[in-house]
Amino acid sequence: MSSCLRLCTAASCRSRGAMALLQSSDRPVKEVGCLGPCSEGPLAAEGAQLLSLKPAEGEPLAPSLGAALAGSRAISADDPFLKLQRRLVLARCGVVDPGCIDDALAQGAYQQLQAVLAANNPSAVIDTVRRSGLRGRGGAGYPTGLKWATVAAMPSDQKVVVCNADEGDPGAFMDRTLMEGDPHTLLEGMAIAAFAVGAAQGFIYIRAEYPLAIERLRRAIAAAEARGWLGTAIGGSRFSFGIELRVGAGAYVCGEETALIHSIEGRRGVPRPRPPYPAEHGVFGLPTLINNVETFGNIPPLLRLGVEAYGAGTKVFSLTGHVQRSGVLEVPMGTPLRTIVETMGGGAPPGRQIKAVQTGGPSGGCIPASALNTPVDYDSLKALGTIMGSGGMVVMDDTTNMVDIAAFFIAFSREESCGKCIPCRSGTVQLEMLLRKLLERRASAADLTQLEALCHTVADASLCGLGQSAPKPVLSTLRHFRGDYLELLEPGEVVR
């Protein structure tokens, strides 16, 4: 089975012609999810050997899979991009056929759910999650075990488990990778969570921009229902749990949990003040557990390994931008940023220098090259004025103007603001106007002072996380790249 040729047909390799290669093949090929270094795609694998089918620069894609394989380039298993990974969440991604539940079952899918149901001890599951120290992988890093315990303690006899798959940060595609490559791990993680907190109803809220992930999840849910891993009396137990897919319609703010709840309920995706927290008052007013895709994806490997072997866990990143090798990688928590960007990603393109690494999307900030030795964990990144975020990592080289990047993110937040509260609705517009003024070299030192003051007001006064963190890309670039701003002031301005 493992010697069968595997071809990645996930979104990135698909955009590089993987489907044409698949259709031209005269030998059995197994479709799999992401194999990692997307920039080398289309990618195939035979056993442990990874093959890049990428044509040479300027050449068209080979006319058939056979021809592509003949001209393929092997990527050694010792390549740092592969060797330095620790694939827990993505263990089966690139190995199993995401459209085939038998393949997933043969490789261990739903075994942890079965074990949990056999042990029939929900609080033991929560205790394991709590002891592992697992924190939410969606961005905020809230302790997962605590969240589960809170929902489990709610007295309601009806509860809901929601998977936030509204992966909206531009440059982030870790969750897409898991959903396209190994959807059953997500479903299993959700079912275990539902058993632990006592929920029978589940939703996956997924963004419409991921058509392939939607299709594969639909298929996986139907297959899991048919095999009795979702639905009533799961695995012969008294536990019942169904999952409904809810597709978004293009609204970044729906990644905010109260907005997401409103959207699932068929309303405008507008956040509301908390408390009450979703754990008390969530979807349809029921106690609701919301975790993101990667967090649920951590549950089956955590239970399989146990707290000790699991250790500090891993984080999946999508590495993109001005970097030689881009793609998806899963590394041990605490891996230095330099290892990811330079050793694994190969650093900046020839002749260029890395200037900054952006993490956390529109809610995050830019880390200067001087801080590349920082280990990637929640607290170290926070100290640098950014956040871990969901795992998008965009490398920027020395041709990048950081004021332009700040303006890009503010424009993003302006367009994605729901419009409910005034600091975010109108403040992001004024912030962008100030940044444009700078970029057009019409700004004075007073404008820079006003920019900073308005950033703090928007951050302090906005209602939800989107507005509160919208100024972060400006504040972090002001902190680390103030020179880029000062250079743009009107000629003759006194520089402080």
Partner 1 sequence: MPTLKQGFAALEPVLQRHGHQAHGLIEVLNAAQQLYGHLSEPLLRHIARQLRLPFSRVQGTASFYHLFRFAPQARHSCLVCTGTACHVQGAAQLLAELRAAPLAELSVELGSVRCIGTCSGAPLVVVDGAVWNHVDANAVLARLRELER
Partner 2 sequence: MSVCTLRINDHDIAVPAGTTLLQAAQQATIPIPTLCFLEGLSAVAACRLCLVEVSGADGREEPRLLAACVTAATEGMRVQTHTPRLQEIRRTVIELLFTEGNHVCAICVANGHCELQNLAVEVGMDHSRLPYRFPERHVDLSHPQYGLDHNRCILCTRCVRVCDEVEGAHVWDVGWRGEHCQIISGLHEPWGDVQACTHCGKCVDVCPTGALFHKVDTSSEKHGHPERLQRLMHARTHQQWTP
Which spans of this chain sit near partner 1 (rule: CB under 8 A)? 11-12, 14-16, 38-39, 41, 167-173, 176, 208-211, 246-252, 263-270, 284, 318, 320-322, 326-327, 358, 361, 392, 394, 396, 400, 405, 408-409, 418
140 counts as binding partner 2 under rule CB under 8 A: no
Q: Could you identify the residue written with the tokens 């419409």?
A: 208
Q: What is the smallest separation between the CB atom of 450 and partner 2, expressed in angstroms?
A: 7
**Of 115, 200, 333, 433, which lies in the binding site for partner 2, with binding defined by CB under 8 A?**
433
Cα 314 to Cα 297: distance, rounded to the nearest angstrom: 11
Residues 254-273 that bind partner 2 (CB under 8 A): 268, 272-273
Among the listed ranges 12-20, 87-95, 393-401, 417-425, the one in contact with partner 2 (CB under 8 A) is 417-425
Residues 452-481 that bind partner 2 (CB under 8 A): 453-454, 457, 460-463
Cα 302 to Cα 126: distance, rounded to the nearest angstrom: 12
Tell me whether residue 212 or residue 372 sits nearer to partner 1 (CB atom).
212
392 binds, among partner 2, partner 1, none (CB under 5 to 8 A by kind): partner 1
Q: How far is CA 312 from CA 109, 133, 135, 140, 410, in A?
A: 23, 8, 10, 17, 34
Q: What is the smallest separation between the CB atom of 341 and partner 1, expressed in angstroms?
A: 14
418 counts as binding partner 2 under rule CB under 8 A: yes
Number of residues that bind partner 2 (CB under 8 A): 29
198 binds, among partner 2, partner 1, none (CB under 5 to 8 A by kind): none
318 binds, among partner 2, partner 1, none (CB under 5 to 8 A by kind): partner 1
Tell me whether residue 112 or residue 164 sits nearer to partner 1 (CB atom).
164
Please give the structure tokens belonging to residue 441.
């070299």
Cα 457 to Cα 377: distance, rounded to the nearest angstrom: 28
Instruction: Name the H helices within 71-210.
Output: 80-83, 101-106, 111-119, 122-132, 144-153, 174-181, 183-197
Burial of 210-230, coded b for 16+ CB within 10 Å and e otherwise, reads: bebbbebbeebbebbbebebb
Q: What is the smallest separation between the CB atom of 268 and partner 1, expressed in angstroms?
A: 4
What residues have CB less than 8 Å from 271, skipping those under 6 apart? 253, 256, 258, 259, 262, 418, 420, 463, 464, 465, 466
**What is the edge-to-edge ordering of all strands in the sheet holding 49-52?**
29-32, 5-8, 43-46, 49-52, 73-75
Q: What 8-state DSSP symbol labels residue 27?
A: S
252 binds, among partner 2, partner 1, none (CB under 5 to 8 A by kind): partner 1
Q: What is the smallest separation between the CB atom of 209 and partner 2, expressed in angstroms?
A: 17
492 counts as binding partner 2 under rule CB under 8 A: no
Tell me whether residue 297 or residue 361 sits nearer to partner 2 (CB atom).
361
Per the DSSP assignment, residues forming a β-bridge with 245 are 204
Among the listed ranges 150-158, 200-208, 220-228, 429-437, the one in contact with partner 2 (CB under 8 A) is 429-437
Tell me whether residue 128 or residue 428 sits nearer to partner 2 (CB atom).
428
> Among candidates 317, 322, 315, which has minimal Cα distance to 401?
322
425 counts as binding partner 2 under rule CB under 8 A: yes
450 counts as binding partner 2 under rule CB under 8 A: yes
Q: What is the smallest separation between the CB atom of 168 and partner 1, expressed in angstroms?
A: 7
436 binds, among partner 2, partner 1, none (CB under 5 to 8 A by kind): none
102 binds, among partner 1, partner 2, none (CB under 5 to 8 A by kind): none
Burial of 245-258, coded b for 16+ CB within 10 Å and e otherwise, reads: ebbbeebbbbbbbb
- Identify residue 224 by its one-letter amino acid code: A
Radius of gyration of the chain (CA): 23
Among the listed ranges 121-129, 130-138, 204-212, 420-428, the one in contact with partner 2 (CB under 8 A) is 420-428
DSSP string for 45-103: EETTEEEE-PPPTTPPPPSSHHHHHHT-EEE-TTSHHHHT---STTTTTTTS-TT-HHH
Residue 198 gets the label, from left (phi > 0), alpha (psi -120 to 50) or beta, of left
**Of 47, 63, 236, 419, which lies in the binding site for partner 2, with binding defined by CB under 8 A?**
419
Cα 82 to Cα 60: distance, rounded to the nearest angstrom: 27
460 binds, among partner 2, partner 1, none (CB under 5 to 8 A by kind): partner 2
Cα 79 to Cα 381: distance, rounded to the nearest angstrom: 27
385 binds, among partner 1, partner 2, none (CB under 5 to 8 A by kind): none
Among the listed ranges 75-83, 321-329, 397-405, 414-422, the one in contact with partner 2 (CB under 8 A) is 414-422
Tell me whether residue 7 or residue 405 sits nearer to partner 1 (CB atom).
405
DSSP string for 280-303: TS-GGGS-EEEEEHHHHHHHHHHH
**Of 25, 107, 156, 430, which lies in the binding site for partner 2, with binding defined by CB under 8 A?**
430
Q: What is the smallest separation between the CB atom of 427 and partner 2, expressed in angstroms?
A: 6
Per the DSSP assignment, residues forming a β-bridge with 263 are none
Please give the structure tokens belonging to residue 328.
């998806």
Dihedral of CA 70/76/77/81: which sign? negative
Q: What kind and span of H or E run contains 20?
A: helix 18-23
86 binds, among partner 2, partner 1, none (CB under 5 to 8 A by kind): none
**Of 426, 436, 452, 486, which lies in the binding site for partner 2, with binding defined by CB under 8 A?**
426
Tell me whether residue 16 or residue 147 sits nearer to partner 1 (CB atom).
16
List of residues contacting partner 2 (CB under 8 A): 251, 268, 272-273, 414-423, 425-430, 433, 450, 453-454, 457, 460-463
